[in-house]
Amino acid sequence: MPRVSEEHLTARREQILAAARTCFLSKGLHNTSMQDLIQEAGLSVGAVYRYFKSKHEIINAIAMTVAGGFQQHIDAVAAERLPMIESIEQIITGLDPQIGPGGSLPIALQIWAEATLDPAIGEIVKERYTGMRLSLQAVVEHSVQSGELPPDTDVAGVTSALYSLIPGYALQRLLTGGPDRDTYLAGVRALLHRG
């Protein structure tokens, strides 16, 4: 029997994840069953379960993709060692493509909501979003090192406050359609007294 190529395995996995995203957006994460996912993927039960043993594994894979991709974005911004407000602007700007149709934030919102009901999903979300907050901490540390923030800055406290700006922007845009990025960033600059 010929071996299946790595490309084929990756394509099948992505096919299942794409089907899951479609189902989650149309039926909701809670109301989507494995049978729904299997039907949407157009694969056999065995084929789907070969890649994912449960809906939790699929949710974890999607959360890893969403949070992992955005964490890489934060890491790249932090590596530039820009002034803090410029870093926040770049991080927030990276959210915009994820907010609209086809973006990952509508699914992330469902995962966040489900995390309040399902302890297993809660652990997935906690792990992913704690990782993103740790990535943002590098921005705060650089601001202390550069003298932008005082040497006695509570780095963890400032990181937590800054981190709340990121999902805060995303949630407002998803739930109310606004504010636009420039208005939001003007507000952030005013709060941080950075012109």
With 60 as the cut, is the pLDDT of residue 146 above it? yes
- Whether 103 and 167 share a structural domain: yes
- Whether 62 and 46 share a structural domain: no
Pick the more confident residue, 109 or 144. Answer: 144
With 70 as the cut, is the pLDDT of residue 117 above it? yes
Q: What is the pLDDT of residue 83?
A: 95
Q: Give the pLDDT band of residue 4 (cuts 50, 70, 90).
A: low
Residue 126 sits in which domain range? 55-192
- Rounded to the nearest integer, the mean pLDDT of the chain is 91
Q: What is the pLDDT of residue 69?
A: 87
- Whether 59 and 38 share a structural domain: no
Nearest to 169 by CA among 157, 155, 187: 187
- Whether 71 and 85 share a structural domain: yes
Q: What is the pLDDT of residue 195?
A: 47
Pick the more confident residue, 2 or 121. Answer: 121
Query: The pTM is what?
Result: 0.83
Task: Say how many domains are in the chain.
Answer: 2
Q: Which of 30, 53, 76 is the last residue of a domain?
A: 53
- Whether 41 and 63 share a structural domain: no
- Whether 47 and 71 share a structural domain: no
Q: From residue 86, give the alpha-carbon distance in Å to each of 22, 49, 74, 77, 189.
A: 35, 45, 12, 9, 9
- Whether 105 and 149 share a structural domain: yes
CATH, residue 25: 1.10.10.60
CATH, residue 160: 1.10.357.10
Q: What is the pLDDT of residue 1?
A: 47
With 80 as the cut, is the pLDDT of residue 105 above it? yes
With 80 as the cut, is the pLDDT of residue 17 above it? yes
Q: What is the pLDDT of residue 104?
A: 86
- Whether 48 and 97 share a structural domain: no
Q: What is the pLDDT of residue 2?
A: 53
Pick the more confident residue, 131 or 30. Answer: 131
Report the chain's C-alpha Rg in angstroms. 19
CB atoms inside a 10 Å sphere around CB 54: 11
Share of the chain above pLDDT 90, in %: 67
Which residue matches tokens 């090192």?
145
- Whether 13 and 88 share a structural domain: no
Q: What is the pLDDT of residue 3?
A: 65
- Whether 33 and 94 share a structural domain: no
Q: Give the pLDDT band of residue 194 (cuts 50, 70, 90).
A: low
- Whether 28 and 77 share a structural domain: no
Which residues, including other chains, have CB under 8 Å from residue 48's CB and lie 6 or more apart?
16, 34, 37, 38, 41
